[in-house]
Chain A
Amino acid sequence: MSLTNAEHGPAGASAPVDLEESRRHRRQSVEKIARWTLPAFVLLAMLFLWDRIVVWNEIPHYILPSPGNVWESLTTDWPILFDAALLTGRVTLMALALAVIGGAGLAILFNQSRMIEMSFYPYAVILQVTPVVSIAPLIFIYVSSKTVGMLLCAWIVAFFPVLSSTTLGLNSVDHNLRDLFRIYGASRWQRLWMLQLPSALPYFLGGLKIAGGLSLIGAVVAELVAGTGGVGAGLAFRIQEAGYRLNIARMFAALGLVAMMGVMIFAALSLFSHFMLRKWHESALKRET
Protein backbone atom coordinates (compact mmCIF):
# COMPACT_ATOMS: atom_id res chain seq x y z
CA MET A 1 0.00 0.00 0.00
CA SER A 2 2.75 2.37 0.88
CA LEU A 3 4.47 1.40 -2.36
CA THR A 4 1.59 2.45 -4.62
CA ASN A 5 1.24 5.54 -2.57
CA ALA A 6 4.88 6.38 -3.04
CA GLU A 7 4.40 6.08 -6.79
CA HIS A 8 1.55 8.53 -6.74
CA GLY A 9 3.22 10.77 -4.22
CA PRO A 10 4.61 14.14 -5.18
CA ALA A 11 7.74 13.75 -7.26
CA GLY A 12 10.82 15.72 -6.36
CA ALA A 13 12.84 16.53 -3.27
CA SER A 14 10.23 15.87 -0.60
CA ALA A 15 10.18 12.24 0.51
CA PRO A 16 6.91 10.48 -0.21
CA VAL A 17 4.77 9.99 2.87
CA ASP A 18 2.47 7.02 2.97
CA LEU A 19 -1.24 7.44 3.42
CA GLU A 20 -1.34 6.07 6.93
CA GLU A 21 1.44 8.35 8.05
CA SER A 22 -0.15 11.50 6.65
CA ARG A 23 -3.52 10.52 8.10
CA ARG A 24 -1.94 10.10 11.51
CA HIS A 25 -0.22 13.43 11.20
CA ARG A 26 -3.48 15.16 10.31
CA ARG A 27 -5.29 13.50 13.19
CA GLN A 28 -2.60 14.65 15.58
CA SER A 29 -2.78 18.28 14.55
CA VAL A 30 -6.57 18.22 14.73
CA GLU A 31 -6.40 16.76 18.23
CA LYS A 32 -3.93 19.40 19.30
CA ILE A 33 -6.35 22.19 18.43
CA ALA A 34 -9.41 20.34 19.70
CA ARG A 35 -7.81 19.82 23.11
CA TRP A 36 -8.26 23.53 23.80
CA THR A 37 -11.11 24.59 21.60
CA LEU A 38 -13.58 21.86 22.58
CA PRO A 39 -13.59 22.57 26.34
CA ALA A 40 -13.74 26.31 25.61
CA PHE A 41 -16.70 25.72 23.34
CA VAL A 42 -18.45 23.63 26.00
CA LEU A 43 -17.86 26.42 28.52
CA LEU A 44 -19.34 29.06 26.23
CA ALA A 45 -22.32 26.87 25.44
CA MET A 46 -22.97 26.20 29.12
CA LEU A 47 -22.76 29.90 29.97
CA PHE A 48 -25.13 30.75 27.14
CA LEU A 49 -27.59 28.08 28.22
CA TRP A 50 -27.36 29.18 31.82
CA ASP A 51 -28.00 32.78 30.84
CA ARG A 52 -30.98 31.84 28.65
CA ILE A 53 -32.55 29.68 31.35
CA VAL A 54 -32.30 32.53 33.84
CA VAL A 55 -33.69 35.11 31.41
CA TRP A 56 -36.47 33.00 29.87
CA ASN A 57 -37.73 31.70 33.18
CA GLU A 58 -37.26 35.06 34.89
CA ILE A 59 -35.43 33.41 37.79
CA PRO A 60 -34.65 36.02 40.48
CA HIS A 61 -30.93 36.58 41.07
CA TYR A 62 -31.15 35.51 44.75
CA ILE A 63 -32.06 32.04 43.54
CA LEU A 64 -29.93 31.70 40.45
CA PRO A 65 -27.88 34.66 39.25
CA SER A 66 -27.05 34.93 35.57
CA PRO A 67 -23.44 34.59 34.45
CA GLY A 68 -23.46 38.38 33.99
CA ASN A 69 -24.42 38.86 37.64
CA VAL A 70 -21.62 36.55 38.76
CA TRP A 71 -19.10 38.43 36.63
CA GLU A 72 -20.38 41.71 38.06
CA SER A 73 -19.96 40.39 41.58
CA LEU A 74 -16.49 39.17 40.76
CA THR A 75 -15.40 42.61 39.58
CA THR A 76 -17.16 44.77 42.19
CA ASP A 77 -16.27 42.45 45.11
CA TRP A 78 -12.80 41.85 43.76
CA PRO A 79 -10.95 43.53 46.68
CA ILE A 80 -12.78 41.37 49.24
CA LEU A 81 -12.51 38.21 47.19
CA PHE A 82 -8.88 38.75 46.32
CA ASP A 83 -7.94 39.21 49.99
CA ALA A 84 -9.87 36.06 50.81
CA ALA A 85 -8.13 34.14 48.03
CA LEU A 86 -4.76 35.33 49.28
CA LEU A 87 -5.48 34.05 52.77
CA THR A 88 -6.76 30.65 51.60
CA GLY A 89 -3.89 30.41 49.15
CA ARG A 90 -1.33 31.16 51.83
CA VAL A 91 -2.70 28.51 54.19
CA THR A 92 -2.87 26.01 51.34
CA LEU A 93 0.70 26.56 50.22
CA MET A 94 2.09 26.52 53.75
CA ALA A 95 0.20 23.32 54.49
CA LEU A 96 1.52 21.81 51.27
CA ALA A 97 5.08 22.76 52.19
CA LEU A 98 4.64 21.18 55.62
CA ALA A 99 3.06 18.11 54.03
CA VAL A 100 6.07 17.71 51.77
CA ILE A 101 8.55 18.12 54.61
CA GLY A 102 6.55 15.95 56.99
CA GLY A 103 5.53 13.31 54.47
CA ALA A 104 8.91 12.90 52.80
CA GLY A 105 10.74 13.21 56.12
CA LEU A 106 8.60 10.51 57.73
CA ALA A 107 9.04 8.31 54.66
CA ILE A 108 12.82 8.57 54.91
CA LEU A 109 12.73 7.96 58.67
CA PHE A 110 10.47 4.92 58.21
CA ASN A 111 12.71 3.65 55.46
CA GLN A 112 15.80 3.90 57.64
CA SER A 113 14.27 2.09 60.58
CA ARG A 114 11.83 -0.79 60.23
CA MET A 115 11.09 -0.56 63.96
CA ILE A 116 10.03 3.08 63.79
CA GLU A 117 7.96 2.32 60.73
CA MET A 118 6.17 -0.57 62.41
CA SER A 119 5.53 1.57 65.50
CA PHE A 120 4.08 4.62 63.79
CA TYR A 121 2.76 3.69 60.36
CA PRO A 122 -0.61 2.45 61.65
CA TYR A 123 -1.22 5.81 63.29
CA ALA A 124 -0.40 7.66 60.10
CA VAL A 125 -3.06 5.54 58.42
CA ILE A 126 -5.57 6.19 61.20
CA LEU A 127 -4.94 9.92 60.93
CA GLN A 128 -5.54 9.68 57.21
CA VAL A 129 -8.75 7.64 57.26
CA THR A 130 -10.46 9.71 59.97
CA PRO A 131 -12.41 12.45 58.15
CA VAL A 132 -10.76 15.79 58.80
CA VAL A 133 -14.16 17.47 59.32
CA SER A 134 -14.55 15.42 62.45
CA ILE A 135 -11.08 16.14 63.80
CA ALA A 136 -11.08 19.86 63.03
CA PRO A 137 -13.43 21.05 65.84
CA LEU A 138 -11.24 19.27 68.38
CA ILE A 139 -8.13 20.87 66.98
CA PHE A 140 -9.60 24.35 67.35
CA ILE A 141 -10.38 23.64 70.99
CA TYR A 142 -6.77 22.94 71.84
CA VAL A 143 -4.92 25.12 69.37
CA SER A 144 -5.40 28.78 70.19
CA SER A 145 -3.93 30.21 66.98
CA LYS A 146 -6.38 30.03 64.09
CA THR A 147 -3.61 29.93 61.52
CA VAL A 148 -1.83 27.08 63.26
CA GLY A 149 -5.13 25.21 63.57
CA MET A 150 -5.91 25.62 59.90
CA LEU A 151 -2.42 24.56 58.92
CA LEU A 152 -2.70 21.49 61.09
CA CYS A 153 -6.01 20.49 59.49
CA ALA A 154 -4.71 20.97 55.98
CA TRP A 155 -1.52 19.12 56.83
CA ILE A 156 -3.37 16.11 58.20
CA VAL A 157 -5.20 15.73 54.90
CA ALA A 158 -2.23 16.39 52.66
CA PHE A 159 0.77 14.61 54.16
CA PHE A 160 -0.36 11.03 53.69
CA PRO A 161 -0.14 10.77 49.91
CA VAL A 162 3.38 12.19 50.10
CA LEU A 163 4.29 9.71 52.83
CA SER A 164 2.87 6.63 51.13
CA SER A 165 4.10 7.38 47.64
CA THR A 166 7.58 8.32 48.83
CA THR A 167 7.75 5.17 50.93
CA LEU A 168 6.79 3.12 47.89
CA GLY A 169 9.44 4.93 45.85
CA LEU A 170 12.20 4.40 48.39
CA ASN A 171 11.45 0.67 48.34
CA SER A 172 11.23 0.40 44.54
CA VAL A 173 14.94 0.55 43.87
CA ASP A 174 16.08 -1.74 41.07
CA HIS A 175 17.47 -4.76 42.91
CA ASN A 176 20.47 -5.08 40.62
CA LEU A 177 21.41 -1.48 41.31
CA ARG A 178 21.06 -2.20 45.00
CA ASP A 179 23.43 -5.16 44.62
CA LEU A 180 25.84 -3.02 42.65
CA PHE A 181 25.95 -0.43 45.43
CA ARG A 182 26.57 -3.22 47.90
CA ILE A 183 29.42 -4.66 45.87
CA TYR A 184 31.04 -1.24 45.68
CA GLY A 185 30.74 -0.91 49.44
CA ALA A 186 28.32 2.02 49.48
CA SER A 187 27.43 3.39 52.90
CA ARG A 188 23.84 3.62 54.06
CA TRP A 189 23.94 7.36 53.48
CA GLN A 190 25.30 6.98 49.95
CA ARG A 191 22.65 4.44 49.17
CA LEU A 192 19.92 6.76 50.40
CA TRP A 193 21.25 9.86 48.71
CA MET A 194 22.49 8.47 45.42
CA LEU A 195 20.12 5.57 44.86
CA GLN A 196 16.92 5.59 46.88
CA LEU A 197 16.04 9.28 46.73
CA PRO A 198 16.46 9.56 42.94
CA SER A 199 14.48 6.32 42.49
CA ALA A 200 11.74 7.72 44.71
CA LEU A 201 11.50 11.07 42.93
CA PRO A 202 8.85 10.12 40.34
CA TYR A 203 6.72 8.50 43.06
CA PHE A 204 7.16 11.51 45.34
CA LEU A 205 6.09 13.89 42.56
CA GLY A 206 2.99 11.78 41.94
CA GLY A 207 2.11 12.04 45.63
CA LEU A 208 2.81 15.76 45.57
CA LYS A 209 0.21 16.35 42.84
CA ILE A 210 -2.43 14.66 44.96
CA ALA A 211 -1.29 16.49 48.09
CA GLY A 212 -1.67 19.87 46.33
CA GLY A 213 -5.37 19.33 45.78
CA LEU A 214 -5.85 17.85 49.23
CA SER A 215 -4.19 20.75 51.04
CA LEU A 216 -6.68 23.12 49.39
CA ILE A 217 -9.51 20.89 50.56
CA GLY A 218 -7.99 20.84 54.04
CA ALA A 219 -7.64 24.61 54.13
CA VAL A 220 -11.25 25.14 53.02
CA VAL A 221 -12.61 22.64 55.54
CA ALA A 222 -10.53 24.18 58.32
CA GLU A 223 -11.84 27.63 57.47
CA LEU A 224 -15.43 26.47 57.53
CA VAL A 225 -14.91 24.93 60.96
CA ALA A 226 -12.81 27.76 62.38
CA GLY A 227 -14.97 30.63 61.20
CA THR A 228 -13.45 34.06 61.04
CA GLY A 229 -12.02 36.30 63.72
CA GLY A 230 -8.47 37.26 64.30
CA VAL A 231 -7.01 36.21 60.99
CA GLY A 232 -9.47 37.68 58.52
CA ALA A 233 -11.66 35.73 56.16
CA GLY A 234 -10.71 33.25 53.46
CA LEU A 235 -12.69 32.13 50.46
CA ALA A 236 -14.58 29.41 52.27
CA PHE A 237 -15.75 31.88 54.88
CA ARG A 238 -16.81 34.30 52.13
CA ILE A 239 -18.86 31.59 50.49
CA GLN A 240 -20.59 30.80 53.77
CA GLU A 241 -21.16 34.45 54.57
CA ALA A 242 -22.57 35.25 51.13
CA GLY A 243 -24.87 32.26 51.51
CA TYR A 244 -26.32 33.66 54.75
CA ARG A 245 -26.92 36.96 52.98
CA LEU A 246 -28.48 35.31 49.94
CA ASN A 247 -25.78 36.92 47.83
CA ILE A 248 -25.72 33.94 45.50
CA ALA A 249 -23.75 35.74 42.80
CA ARG A 250 -20.84 36.25 45.17
CA MET A 251 -21.07 32.61 46.23
CA PHE A 252 -20.59 31.59 42.62
CA ALA A 253 -17.78 34.10 42.19
CA ALA A 254 -15.92 32.80 45.27
CA LEU A 255 -16.54 29.20 44.23
CA GLY A 256 -15.07 29.99 40.83
CA LEU A 257 -11.98 31.37 42.53
CA VAL A 258 -11.56 28.26 44.69
CA ALA A 259 -11.81 26.05 41.61
CA MET A 260 -9.35 28.30 39.81
CA MET A 261 -6.87 27.97 42.67
CA GLY A 262 -7.17 24.20 42.60
CA VAL A 263 -6.50 24.16 38.87
CA MET A 264 -3.53 26.50 39.26
CA ILE A 265 -1.97 24.38 41.99
CA PHE A 266 -2.40 21.24 39.93
CA ALA A 267 -1.00 22.88 36.80
CA ALA A 268 1.99 24.32 38.68
CA LEU A 269 2.79 20.96 40.28
CA SER A 270 2.42 19.13 36.97
CA LEU A 271 4.79 21.59 35.36
CA PHE A 272 7.24 21.23 38.23
CA SER A 273 7.05 17.45 37.96
CA HIS A 274 7.63 17.54 34.22
CA PHE A 275 10.57 19.86 34.69
CA MET A 276 12.15 17.59 37.30
CA LEU A 277 11.77 14.41 35.24
CA ARG A 278 11.97 15.58 31.65
CA LYS A 279 15.61 14.66 31.19
CA TRP A 280 15.49 11.05 32.22
CA HIS A 281 12.09 9.64 33.11
CA GLU A 282 10.00 7.67 30.64
CA SER A 283 6.84 9.52 31.68
CA ALA A 284 8.29 12.77 30.34
CA LEU A 285 9.18 11.24 27.01
CA LYS A 286 7.17 12.43 24.03
CA ARG A 287 6.59 9.48 21.78
CA GLU A 288 4.66 9.37 18.56
CA THR A 289 1.81 6.95 18.92
Chain B
Amino acid sequence: MPPAPLPPLGQRPEILRMEGVNKTFRGNVVALNGMTLGVGQGDFISLLGPSGCGKSTALRLIAGLMQPTTGRIRWTEAQSQGDLGVVFQEPTLMPWATVAQNVWLPFRLRGESYASVRDRVEEVLKLVGLEKFRAAYPRELSGGMKMRVSIARAMVTRPKLILMDEPFAALDEITRFKLNNDLLEMKAAIGCTVIFVTHSVFESVFLSDRIVVMAARPGRVSAELTVDAPYPRHEDFRTSAEYAARCRAASDALHTAMELAA
Protein backbone atom coordinates (compact mmCIF):
# COMPACT_ATOMS: atom_id res chain seq x y z
CA MET B 1 0.00 0.00 0.00
CA PRO B 2 1.55 3.31 -1.05
CA PRO B 3 1.83 5.91 1.70
CA ALA B 4 -0.66 8.80 1.76
CA PRO B 5 0.50 11.98 -0.05
CA LEU B 6 2.46 14.37 2.12
CA PRO B 7 0.76 17.55 3.37
CA PRO B 8 2.73 20.71 2.51
CA LEU B 9 5.53 21.91 4.79
CA GLY B 10 4.27 23.50 7.98
CA GLN B 11 1.05 21.49 8.01
CA ARG B 12 2.64 18.20 8.95
CA PRO B 13 2.04 16.81 12.41
CA GLU B 14 5.12 17.05 14.61
CA ILE B 15 6.58 13.68 15.54
CA LEU B 16 9.44 14.82 17.70
CA ARG B 17 10.83 18.02 19.11
CA MET B 18 14.24 18.98 20.49
CA GLU B 19 13.71 21.70 23.03
CA GLY B 20 16.63 23.87 24.13
CA VAL B 21 18.94 20.90 24.06
CA ASN B 22 22.42 21.42 25.45
CA LYS B 23 25.17 18.90 25.41
CA THR B 24 28.43 19.54 27.21
CA PHE B 25 31.21 16.98 27.17
CA ARG B 26 33.88 16.54 29.76
CA GLY B 27 36.44 19.33 29.70
CA ASN B 28 33.69 21.89 29.05
CA VAL B 29 33.37 21.12 25.36
CA VAL B 30 29.99 22.58 24.46
CA ALA B 31 28.88 20.46 21.51
CA LEU B 32 25.32 21.79 21.39
CA ASN B 33 23.95 24.98 22.86
CA GLY B 34 20.20 25.46 23.04
CA MET B 35 19.21 23.53 19.95
CA THR B 36 15.50 23.65 19.21
CA LEU B 37 14.10 21.73 16.27
CA GLY B 38 10.65 20.40 15.50
CA VAL B 39 10.49 17.48 13.13
CA GLY B 40 7.34 17.05 11.06
CA GLN B 41 6.07 13.74 9.82
CA GLY B 42 7.49 13.12 6.35
CA ASP B 43 10.10 15.89 6.48
CA PHE B 44 13.43 15.41 4.81
CA ILE B 45 15.66 17.52 7.03
CA SER B 46 19.33 18.13 6.27
CA LEU B 47 21.64 19.23 9.06
CA LEU B 48 24.28 21.26 7.25
CA GLY B 49 27.27 22.76 8.94
CA PRO B 50 31.05 22.90 9.32
CA SER B 51 32.98 20.15 11.03
CA GLY B 52 32.56 20.06 14.79
CA CYS B 53 29.27 21.97 14.94
CA GLY B 54 27.50 19.11 16.70
CA LYS B 55 25.60 17.45 13.85
CA SER B 56 26.56 13.96 14.90
CA THR B 57 25.92 14.85 18.50
CA ALA B 58 22.37 15.94 17.64
CA LEU B 59 21.77 12.69 15.81
CA ARG B 60 23.15 10.58 18.65
CA LEU B 61 20.92 12.41 21.10
CA ILE B 62 17.87 11.67 18.97
CA ALA B 63 18.94 8.03 18.61
CA GLY B 64 19.11 7.78 22.40
CA LEU B 65 22.81 6.90 22.38
CA MET B 66 23.34 9.67 24.89
CA GLN B 67 21.30 12.01 27.06
CA PRO B 68 21.14 15.82 26.78
CA THR B 69 22.94 17.70 29.55
CA THR B 70 19.94 20.04 29.79
CA GLY B 71 16.83 20.50 27.71
CA ARG B 72 14.84 17.62 26.39
CA ILE B 73 13.70 15.68 23.39
CA ARG B 74 9.95 15.12 23.27
CA TRP B 75 8.54 12.18 21.41
CA THR B 76 4.91 12.08 20.35
CA GLU B 77 2.47 9.21 20.27
CA ALA B 78 2.99 8.90 16.53
CA GLN B 79 6.70 8.30 16.97
CA SER B 80 8.33 6.25 19.67
CA GLN B 81 12.07 6.38 20.16
CA GLY B 82 12.45 2.69 19.44
CA ASP B 83 11.00 3.03 15.95
CA LEU B 84 13.93 4.28 13.92
CA GLY B 85 16.60 3.25 11.46
CA VAL B 86 20.16 4.55 11.33
CA VAL B 87 22.82 4.81 8.66
CA PHE B 88 26.35 5.79 9.68
CA GLN B 89 29.14 7.25 7.60
CA GLU B 90 30.68 3.79 7.30
CA PRO B 91 28.43 0.99 6.08
CA THR B 92 28.85 -0.76 9.47
CA LEU B 93 27.97 -4.23 8.27
CA MET B 94 28.73 -7.44 10.09
CA PRO B 95 31.54 -8.93 7.95
CA TRP B 96 30.71 -12.49 9.02
CA ALA B 97 27.12 -12.26 7.79
CA THR B 98 25.74 -12.26 4.27
CA VAL B 99 23.90 -9.31 2.77
CA ALA B 100 20.53 -10.88 3.58
CA GLN B 101 21.57 -11.68 7.14
CA ASN B 102 22.80 -8.14 7.65
CA VAL B 103 19.48 -6.74 6.47
CA TRP B 104 17.62 -9.22 8.67
CA LEU B 105 19.44 -7.91 11.79
CA PRO B 106 16.81 -5.43 13.10
CA PHE B 107 14.16 -8.14 12.90
CA ARG B 108 16.46 -10.76 14.36
CA LEU B 109 17.11 -8.60 17.39
CA ARG B 110 13.36 -8.47 17.93
CA GLY B 111 13.31 -12.25 17.90
CA GLU B 112 11.81 -12.72 14.45
CA SER B 113 13.02 -15.68 12.42
CA TYR B 114 14.39 -15.18 8.94
CA ALA B 115 11.60 -17.23 7.40
CA SER B 116 8.95 -14.99 8.89
CA VAL B 117 10.44 -11.80 7.42
CA ARG B 118 11.99 -13.14 4.22
CA ASP B 119 9.51 -11.23 2.07
CA ARG B 120 10.37 -7.95 3.75
CA VAL B 121 14.10 -8.56 3.33
CA GLU B 122 13.68 -9.51 -0.32
CA GLU B 123 11.49 -6.50 -0.96
CA VAL B 124 13.95 -4.02 0.48
CA LEU B 125 16.90 -5.69 -1.26
CA LYS B 126 15.03 -5.23 -4.52
CA LEU B 127 14.44 -1.59 -3.58
CA VAL B 128 18.21 -1.02 -3.29
CA GLY B 129 18.90 -3.20 -6.33
CA LEU B 130 20.88 -5.89 -4.55
CA GLU B 131 18.56 -8.88 -4.77
CA LYS B 132 21.21 -10.80 -6.70
CA PHE B 133 23.72 -10.27 -3.91
CA ARG B 134 21.71 -11.61 -1.02
CA ALA B 135 24.20 -14.40 -0.38
CA ALA B 136 27.34 -12.30 -0.83
CA TYR B 137 29.58 -11.27 2.05
CA PRO B 138 30.39 -7.58 2.60
CA ARG B 139 34.03 -7.93 1.51
CA GLU B 140 32.79 -8.92 -1.94
CA LEU B 141 30.86 -5.65 -2.39
CA SER B 142 31.99 -2.22 -3.53
CA GLY B 143 31.72 0.77 -1.21
CA GLY B 144 28.50 1.96 -2.84
CA MET B 145 26.93 -1.48 -2.63
CA LYS B 146 27.83 -1.78 1.04
CA MET B 147 26.16 1.55 1.66
CA ARG B 148 23.03 0.28 -0.09
CA VAL B 149 22.95 -2.71 2.23
CA SER B 150 23.26 -0.35 5.15
CA ILE B 151 20.32 1.69 3.87
CA ALA B 152 18.30 -1.46 3.23
CA ARG B 153 18.92 -2.53 6.82
CA ALA B 154 17.73 0.85 8.11
CA MET B 155 14.57 0.67 6.01
CA VAL B 156 13.61 -2.98 6.33
CA THR B 157 11.47 -2.49 9.44
CA ARG B 158 9.74 0.47 7.75
CA PRO B 159 10.61 2.82 10.61
CA LYS B 160 8.87 6.17 10.71
CA LEU B 161 12.18 7.97 11.22
CA ILE B 162 15.56 7.38 9.63
CA LEU B 163 18.74 9.06 10.84
CA MET B 164 21.68 9.31 8.45
CA ASP B 165 25.10 10.65 9.42
CA GLU B 166 27.01 11.65 6.27
CA PRO B 167 26.18 8.33 4.67
CA PHE B 168 27.64 9.14 1.26
CA ALA B 169 30.64 11.24 2.30
CA ALA B 170 33.14 8.50 1.48
CA LEU B 171 31.73 7.72 -1.96
CA ASP B 172 32.69 9.10 -5.36
CA GLU B 173 30.43 11.73 -6.89
CA ILE B 174 28.82 9.49 -9.51
CA THR B 175 27.86 6.87 -6.95
CA ARG B 176 26.70 9.58 -4.60
CA PHE B 177 24.36 11.11 -7.20
CA LYS B 178 22.91 7.71 -7.96
CA LEU B 179 22.36 6.96 -4.30
CA ASN B 180 20.80 10.38 -3.78
CA ASN B 181 18.21 9.60 -6.45
CA ASP B 182 17.58 6.15 -5.03
CA LEU B 183 17.29 7.47 -1.51
CA LEU B 184 14.52 9.85 -2.55
CA GLU B 185 12.67 7.02 -4.27
CA MET B 186 12.99 4.78 -1.26
CA LYS B 187 11.85 7.49 1.10
CA ALA B 188 8.78 8.03 -1.04
CA ALA B 189 8.16 4.29 -1.21
CA ILE B 190 8.08 3.74 2.54
CA GLY B 191 6.91 7.23 3.49
CA CYS B 192 9.30 7.89 6.34
CA THR B 193 10.87 10.98 7.89
CA VAL B 194 14.60 11.50 7.32
CA ILE B 195 17.16 13.51 9.26
CA PHE B 196 20.26 13.67 7.13
CA VAL B 197 23.65 15.04 8.18
CA THR B 198 25.86 16.36 5.40
CA HIS B 199 28.76 18.68 4.59
CA SER B 200 27.57 19.16 1.06
CA VAL B 201 25.41 22.13 0.12
CA PHE B 202 24.47 20.47 -3.18
CA GLU B 203 23.42 17.25 -1.56
CA SER B 204 21.31 19.00 1.03
CA VAL B 205 19.48 21.08 -1.58
CA PHE B 206 18.83 18.13 -3.86
CA LEU B 207 17.53 15.87 -1.13
CA SER B 208 15.74 17.86 1.48
CA ASP B 209 12.75 20.11 1.91
CA ARG B 210 14.21 21.65 5.07
CA ILE B 211 17.84 22.62 5.52
CA VAL B 212 18.95 23.36 9.05
CA VAL B 213 22.23 25.28 8.93
CA MET B 214 24.32 24.95 12.06
CA ALA B 215 27.20 26.99 13.45
CA ALA B 216 30.10 25.75 15.56
CA ARG B 217 31.63 26.60 18.93
CA PRO B 218 29.14 26.29 20.45
CA GLY B 219 27.02 24.18 18.16
CA ARG B 220 23.63 25.73 17.43
CA VAL B 221 21.08 26.31 14.70
CA SER B 222 22.04 29.40 12.76
CA ALA B 223 19.42 29.41 9.99
CA GLU B 224 16.73 27.32 8.43
CA LEU B 225 15.92 27.22 4.71
CA THR B 226 13.10 25.48 2.94
CA VAL B 227 13.40 23.95 -0.49
CA ASP B 228 9.84 23.73 -1.75
CA ALA B 229 10.61 22.19 -5.12
CA PRO B 230 8.19 19.32 -5.47
CA TYR B 231 9.06 15.66 -5.19
CA PRO B 232 9.76 13.44 -7.01
CA ARG B 233 12.97 15.22 -7.91
CA HIS B 234 14.95 13.75 -10.75
CA GLU B 235 18.34 14.25 -12.30
CA ASP B 236 17.05 17.28 -14.29
CA PHE B 237 16.45 19.12 -11.01
CA ARG B 238 20.24 19.26 -10.60
CA THR B 239 20.57 21.38 -13.73
CA SER B 240 17.57 23.65 -13.12
CA ALA B 241 17.86 27.34 -12.36
CA GLU B 242 15.88 26.85 -9.19
CA TYR B 243 18.43 24.34 -7.92
CA ALA B 244 21.28 26.75 -8.62
CA ALA B 245 19.49 29.55 -6.78
CA ARG B 246 18.78 27.32 -3.78
CA CYS B 247 22.36 26.17 -3.65
CA ARG B 248 23.56 29.78 -3.65
CA ALA B 249 21.19 30.63 -0.81
CA ALA B 250 22.27 27.62 1.22
CA SER B 251 25.90 28.35 0.54
CA ASP B 252 25.45 31.96 1.74
CA ALA B 253 23.72 30.74 4.88
CA LEU B 254 26.57 28.34 5.51
CA HIS B 255 29.14 31.10 5.12
CA THR B 256 27.23 33.30 7.53
CA ALA B 257 27.20 30.41 10.00
CA MET B 258 30.94 29.93 9.64
CA GLU B 259 31.66 33.62 10.13
CA LEU B 260 29.52 33.49 13.24
CA ALA B 261 31.89 30.92 14.67
CA ALA B 262 35.11 32.60 13.61
Q: How many whole Å from B94's CB to the nearest CB in chain A? A: 7
Is B8 in contact with chain A by the CB < 8 A criterion? Answer: no
Segment of A82-90, A138-146, A182-190 in the binding face: A182-190
B60-94, CB < 8 A from A: 60, 63-65, 82, 84, 86, 88, 90, 92, 94
Is A127 in contact with chain B by the CB < 8 A criterion? Answer: no
Q: Contact at A185–B109, with CB atoms within 8 Å? A: yes
Q: How many angstroms between the C-alpha atoms of A179 and B92 in the bound complex?
A: 10
Is A176 in contact with chain B by the CB < 8 A criterion? Answer: yes
Q: How many whole Å from A48's CB to the nearest CB in chain B? A: 47
Q: Contact at A183–B86, with CB atoms within 8 Å? A: yes
Q: Mark B105-137, 1 if CB is under 8 A from A, else 0.
A: 110111000000000000000000000000001
Q: Contact at A280–B63, with CB atoms within 8 Å? A: no
Interface size on A, residues (CB 8 A): 21
Known: A201-B96, A281-B95, A285-B139. A179 touches B65 (CB 8 A): yes
Known: A185-B82, A280-B137. A190 touches B109 (CB 8 A): yes
Q: How many whole Å from A184's CB to the nearest CB in chain B? A: 5
Is A114 in contact with chain B by the CB < 8 A criterion? Answer: no
Known: A198-B96, A280-B96. A184 touches B90 (CB 8 A): no
Is A195 in contact with chain B by the CB < 8 A criterion? Answer: yes
Q: How many angstroms between the C-alpha atoms of A285 and B60 in the bound complex?
A: 35
Q: How many angstroms between the C-alpha atoms of A179 and B65 in the bound complex?
A: 7
Q: Contact at B138–A180, with CB atoms within 8 Å? A: no
Is A21 in contact with chain B by the CB < 8 A criterion? Answer: no
Known: A179-B65, A280-B137, A280-B139. A184 touches B92 (CB 8 A): no
Q: Mark A270-286, 1 if CB is under 8 A from B, else 0.
A: 00000000011110010
Residues of chain A within 8 A (CB-CB) of B90 are 176
Q: How many angstroms between the C-alpha atoms of A176 and B105 in the bound complex?
A: 14
Q: Contact at A194–B92, with CB atoms within 8 Å? A: no
Q: Contact at A177–B94, with CB atoms within 8 Å? A: yes
Q: Contact at A183–B84, with CB atoms within 8 Å? A: yes
Residues of chain B within 8 A (CB-CB) of A71 are none
Of the candidates B65, B97, B110, which one forms a contact with A182 in the assembled complex, judged by CB atoms under 8 Å apart?
Answer: B65
Residues of chain A within 8 A (CB-CB) of B88 are 176, 179-180
Residues of chain B within 8 A (CB-CB) of A176 are 88, 90, 92
Q: How many angstroms between the C-alpha atoms of A280 and B140 in the bound complex?
A: 9
Residues of chain B within 8 A (CB-CB) of A280 are 95-97, 137-139
Interface of chain B, main secondary structure: loop
A156-206, CB < 8 A from B: 174, 176-177, 179-186, 190, 194-195, 198, 201
Interface of chain A, main secondary structure: helix
Q: How many angstroms between the C-alpha atoms of A190 and B108 in the bound complex?
A: 9
Residues of chain A within 8 A (CB-CB) of B109 are 181, 184-186, 190, 194
Residues of chain A within 8 A (CB-CB) of B92 are 174, 176-177, 180
Q: How many angstroms between the C-alpha atoms of A281 and B94 in the bound complex?
A: 11
Q: How many whole Å from A169's CB to the nearest CB in chain B? A: 12
Residues of chain B within 8 A (CB-CB) of A186 are 109
Q: How many whole Å from B109's CB to the nearest CB in chain A? A: 5
A201-246, CB < 8 A from B: 201
Q: How many whole Å from A176's CB to the nearest CB in chain B? A: 4
Residues of chain B within 8 A (CB-CB) of A177 are 92, 94
Residues of chain A within 8 A (CB-CB) of B86 are 179-180, 183
Residues of chain B within 8 A (CB-CB) of A201 are 96
Q: Contact at A184–B96, with CB atoms within 8 Å? A: no
Q: How many whole Å from B243's CB to the nearest CB in chain A? A: 32
Q: Contact at A183–B65, with CB atoms within 8 Å? A: yes
Q: How many angstroms between the C-alpha atoms of A198 and B97 in the bound complex?
A: 9
Q: How many angstroms between the C-alpha atoms of A179 and B84 in the bound complex?
A: 13
Q: How many angstroms between the C-alpha atoms of A282 and B139 in the bound complex?
A: 8
Q: Contact at A195–B94, with CB atoms within 8 Å? A: yes
Q: How many angstroms between the C-alpha atoms of A282 and B95 in the bound complex?
A: 9
Q: Contact at B139–A194, with CB atoms within 8 Å? A: no
Residues of chain B within 8 A (CB-CB) of A179 are 60, 63, 65, 86, 88
Q: Provide 28 A-B residue pairs closer than 8 Å at the C-beta atoms, listed in order of the A residue.
A: A176-B88, A177-B94, A179-B60, A179-B65, A179-B88, A180-B86, A180-B92, A181-B109, A182-B65, A183-B64, A183-B65, A183-B84, A184-B105, A184-B106, A185-B109, A185-B110, A186-B109, A190-B109, A194-B108, A194-B109, A198-B94, A198-B97, A279-B96, A280-B96, A280-B97, A280-B137, A280-B138, A281-B96
A residues neighboring B (CB under 8 Å): 174, 176-177, 179-186, 190, 194-195, 198, 201, 279-282, 285
